[in-house]
Amino acid sequence: MNLENYIESLPTKRKLSGAKHTILTLLWSSSAEFPRRWVRSSELLNATGQKYFDRRARELRDEIGCDLESKYVEEFKEHAWRLNSNKLLKANPREYLTSADKKRLFEKHNFVCATCGKKIDAGVRGLQADHKIPLSRSGSHKLSNWQPICNNCNVGKRRACEGCNDECISCSWAFPEEVGINTVVNLPPEILSKLNKMSGGSQKELNELIKRAIQEAIGNS
Ligand SMILES: [Zn+2]
Ligand SMILES: [Zn+2]
């Protein structure tokens, strides 16, 4: 199968957008075998010229069913995407809440972000409706799977979910009401730069370091 056949095989109603086409072309051509090689986010950004290229990539994965994966790649020191196979995964087309449902959801939570507790107006930079269990982890569109979260948390959650195989049920991004809300800690720059050095720039390692330090401080009781 070549790229052209692959693109023709995709269950899309309309022709792929230019950005999606560019993304698939890059990912397809990065190597000859599946899984294809990782392609840096910066490369995809340059090629598409789209600030929101990652949204387009997620649409390819979640709405069309392309077998795409993304994660932070240590070697690149940035996020990257790859095409794992030419198979089609079960697409889970994004459906949006009706504005009435969204309003009800926000009001029920008093316009407070479910994951950080900040009170904030609705909007693209503000409070948004979020799937507690992400679509990429087979989350449903049922009302019970929605929560209001602020834009910052939404960005953080997306990063945290990439490549995560932990159970969503014990994840504070998905079930903050059970697990506890995320806490933002402002660390002095000297501690932060030390931590950054120790973690080698890896967000995951940084989280582990901080978790271990807190655990040591409060004990395991
Ligand atoms: Zn928040
Ligand atoms: Zn999670």
In a domain, 184, yes or no: no
Residues 152 and 171 grouped into a single domain: yes
Nearest-CA neighbor of 26 among 75, 64, 60?
A: 60
CA-wise closest residue to 105 among 136, 128, 71, 137: 128
| More confident site: 185 or 198 | 198
pLDDT for 80 equals 96
Q: Which ligand sits closest to the CA of 133?
A: 2
193 and 172 within one domain = no
Quick one: 73 and 51 in the same domain? yes
Q: Tell me the per-residue pLDDT of 42-68, one tens digit each, with 9 for 90 and over.
A: 999 999 999 889 999 999 998 899 999
User: Pick from 63, 88, 113: which residue ends a domain?
Assistant: 88
Q: Taking residues 185-202, report their average pLDDT.
A: 85
Domains contained in the chain, number: 3
Residues 108 and 152 in one domain: yes
Ligand nearest to the CA of 182: 1
Ligand 2: distance of its center to the CA of 4 in Å? 35
Contact assessment for residue 145 and residue 131, using Cβ atoms and an 8 Å cutoff: yes
HSE (side-chain half, CA atoms, 13 Å) at 195: 18
Residues bordering ligand 1, an ion, CB closer than 5 Å: 113, 116, 118, 150, 153
Its domain, for residue 73, covers 3-88
**Residue 179: HSE in the Cβ half-sphere, 13 Å Cα cutoff:** 17
Instruction: Provide the ipTM.
Output: 0.78
In a domain, 94, yes or no: no
Chosen domain end from 58, 88, 118? 88
| Residue 93 domain flag | no
User: What's the DSSP call for residue 63?
Assistant: I
**Average pLDDT, rounded, for the chain:** 90
Question: Which ligand has an atom closest to residue 139 CA?
Answer: 2
Q: How far apart (Å, rounded) are the C-alpha atoms in residues 6 and 16?
A: 12
> What are the beta bridge partners of residue 68?
83
Among residues 67, 88, 109, which one ends one of the domains?
Answer: 88
Q: Check which CATH number belongs to the domain holding 77 and give it.
A: 1.10.10
Tell how far the Cα of 172 is from the centroid of ligand 1, in angstroms: 12
- The predicted-structure confidence for 148-182, as pLDDT tens digits, reads as follows 999 999 998 988 888 788 899 989 999 999 888 77
